[in-house]
Amino acid sequence: MIVEIPYKELASLLKVKASLEQIVKALDMFGTPVDEFDKDILRVEVFPNRVDMLSPEGIARSLDGFLGHSVGYPLWNLMPSGIETVVGKSKTRPFISFSSVQDVPFTEVALKSLMQLQEKLHVSIGRNRRKYSIGVYDTDKIGKQVTYKEMPLKEIEFKPIGEKSEMTGYEILESTEKGMDFAHLLGDTAPVLMDEKNRIMAMAPITGADYCKVTKDTKNFFVDSTGTEKGTDSVVTLITTSLVQRGGSLGIVVPGPTYLPRRMKLDQSYLNKITGLNLTKTKLQNALLKMRFGFDGDILIPSYRFDIFNKIDIAEDIAIAHGYTKFKGELPPSYSPGESLKVRELEQEIRKIMTGMKFIELKTYMLTSPSLLSMAGSPTLEVTNPKSSEYSTLRQSLLPGLFDVLSINTNAQYPHNVFELGHIFTPDEKLKLSGIIAHTDANFAEIKAVVDRLVKMFSIKAKWELGNHPFFMEGRTALSEFGVYGEVSPAISEKFGVPLAAFELNLERIL
């Protein structure tokens, strides 16, 4: 996921002094590579394991440690928030967490970053708000008590952010942009948050009320996350620990994150064994501090790092702190005999015979359009969700793809001798070999000679008999259990203006 980070904002948030080039290089080697940048904007790719870096504040926090300025567990001022909550039952979004941040020096640019962070979290870990959604409010507008409960849509009435007047729950779902986008997540009721005067602050997971929205002048922030699964504490943490990076203090609300670190034992021998390093305990600790873990005998994992499942995740952070480029690479002294798949070897032998007979190998798509297959007549194997009908059906024969190639190559000098070896689906996977000869004198005898040669090389005795096949010409079609060959039906070759002769063999019968 790409986030846009204003360079000036990042530079002002960083405690360490670093040039643009140093920052770009550090981000590349931290695992959040810079996709594009100029002096105003860095476009940073943040992978799903480091959603704590979806904001300039989060990136600054990590880089300060990585560049060696502010290492170790982030020091947050923790204060009681003084906000009471009343949490009722919600059937649509049963999980809820709250938290707050106080006395944050806030700006217009910071507001933009907060909006971006909220949106990116909605899309990524929020799974488009289905799993989790987030609300952020100006604490000074809502007072000291917040209520969470489920309400019928018709009873909900407030003025949503960006709207001119009060609207009912139904009106919001039917006529606002966000309402229409996410109406499918609600039934006839919606979870709402109300302030101490019972004003509706937000209707989850759709929108907040205009009166308590965050502006560039907001100092104190109240944050909630509602969800259909547990984990809302972590989501709230991602917002608040990003905000508090600017200054101010975290205010604890119940239910909500406690900001206590998780603990893990430092397993020195495991970490060295799996990384291939040989670091002393002190060096390991220093590496951990650089990645902003704490250490007091145990590893202290900041609560925004919920990508840390077990000690292998610690190992990766050690490796990143050590520097990926410093791994020189070493091969283990083990012996193992390599062994190829027999079928792959035989396939390549067949390709050699075909090229020896002056055929050019083609690779065509396995996914094709139903129209290209309609002539084959048998039922097709379709994907259930194609983006385009051009790639919607698995091929049942290699021949339509080859016809297609020849049809766009009529300007190339003849003869055209082409073949393909590949899988088809009927619906079982089968390995086939097909070839086509196209030139002014292409005929049954010429293609028979090719098939005879192939078959002889594999000591196969095939009994060919005249038969019928939709791609081939009546009276010039040879069939057997090994496949089909003959002159291509003039209904097909008339489009090319030259006669075609072709074959398709079942390689399962041969290999």
Partner 1 sequence: MHPSEAKLMRLMKEKQKAKASDLSQSLGIGKDIIGRLAYSLSKKNLLTIEKVKTRTSRLTSEGKDVLKNGLIEKKLLKKLPIEPNKLQGSEKIALNWALKRGWAEVKEGKVVRIVEKTPTTNEEIWLKNFKKLSHEDSKLKVLKKRKWISFKEDFDYIICLTEAGGVKEIEEQITQMTPAMLVNGKWKEKKFKAFSPNTPVPQIYAGRFHPLNEIIQKIRRVFLEMGFTEVEGKHIESTFWDFDALFVPQDHPAREMQDTFYMKGKQELPELAKSVADIHKKSWGSWSKREAQRQVLRTHMTSVSAHALSKAKPPAKIFTIGKVFRNETVDYKHLAEFHQVDGIVFDENVNFNNLVGYLKDFFRKLGFKKIRIRPAYFPYTEMSAEVDVWLEEKGTWFELGGSGIFRPEVVKPLTGVDVPVLAWGLGIERIAMLYYGLKDIRELYKSNINWLRNREVFL
* Cα–Cα distance measured from residue 114 to residue 123, given in angstroms and rounded to the nearest whole number: 14
* Least gap, CB of 427 to partner 1 (angstroms): 8
Q: Are 221 and 104 in contact (CB under 8 A)?
A: yes
Nearer of residues 248 and 422 to partner 1, judged by Cβ: 422
* Cα–Cα distance measured from residue 83 to residue 486, given in angstroms and rounded to the nearest whole number: 84
Written as one letter, the residue type at 504 is E
How many Cα atoms occupy the beta-carbon half-sphere of 173 within 13 Å? 19
* Least gap, CB of 111 to partner 1 (angstroms): 27
* Least gap, CB of 330 to partner 1 (angstroms): 5
Residue 505: partners with Cβ closer than 8 Å, 6 or more residues away: 432, 433, 434, 451, 454, 482, 483
User: Could you tell me which of 288, 302, 291 has the C-alpha nearest to residue 260?
Assistant: 302
* Cα–Cα distance measured from residue 295 to residue 488, given in angstroms and rounded to the nearest whole number: 76
DSSP string, 73-138: S----EEE---EEEE---SS--EEEEEEEES----HHHHHHHHHHHHHHHHTTTTTTTSEEEEEEE
Nearer of residues 215 and 385 to partner 1, judged by Cβ: 385
* Least gap, CB of 328 to partner 1 (angstroms): 7
Nearer of residues 130 and 199 to partner 1, judged by Cβ: 130
Cα dist from 404 to 97, 398, 401, whole Å = 59, 10, 5
How many Cα atoms occupy the beta-carbon half-sphere of 103 within 13 Å? 10
Structure tokens at 150: 């489920």
* Least gap, CB of 131 to partner 1 (angstroms): 7
Nearer of residues 61 and 416 to partner 1, judged by Cβ: 416
Nearer of residues 166 and 429 to partner 1, judged by Cβ: 429
SS3 149: strand
Residue with the two structure tokens 């943490």? 237
* Least gap, CB of 81 to partner 1 (angstroms): 28
* Least gap, CB of 58 to partner 1 (angstroms): 16
* Least gap, CB of 339 to partner 1 (angstroms): 4
Nearer of residues 165 and 334 to partner 1, judged by Cβ: 334
Burial label, 65 (beta-carbon count in 10 A; 0-12, 13-18, 19+): buried
Residue 434 DSSP symbol = E
* Least gap, CB of 386 to partner 1 (angstroms): 7
End-to-end CA distance of the chain: 47
How many other CB atoms are found less than 10 A from the CB of residue 38?
A: 9
Cα dist from 33 to 12, 23, 55, 315, 316, whole Å = 20, 10, 14, 20, 16
* Least gap, CB of 367 to partner 1 (angstroms): 6
Nearer of residues 80 and 356 to partner 1, judged by Cβ: 356
Q: Are 46 and 81 in contact (CB under 8 A)?
A: no
Nearer of residues 170 and 270 to partner 1, judged by Cβ: 270
Nearer of residues 111 and 277 to partner 1, judged by Cβ: 277
Nearer of residues 37 and 170 to partner 1, judged by Cβ: 37
Residue with the two structure tokens 């943040």? 46
* Least gap, CB of 124 to partner 1 (angstroms): 8
* Cα–Cα distance measured from residue 328 to residue 506, given in angstroms and rounded to the nearest whole number: 49
* Least gap, CB of 320 to partner 1 (angstroms): 5
Nearer of residues 139 and 417 to partner 1, judged by Cβ: 417
Q: Are 482 and 488 in contact (CB under 8 A)?
A: no
Nearer of residues 97 and 364 to partner 1, judged by Cβ: 364
Structure tokens at 355: 């090229």
* Least gap, CB of 236 to partner 1 (angstroms): 18
Q: Are 154 and 173 in contact (CB under 8 A)?
A: no
Residue with the two structure tokens 């393909």? 420
Find the length of the chain: 511
Nearer of residues 202 and 362 to partner 1, judged by Cβ: 362
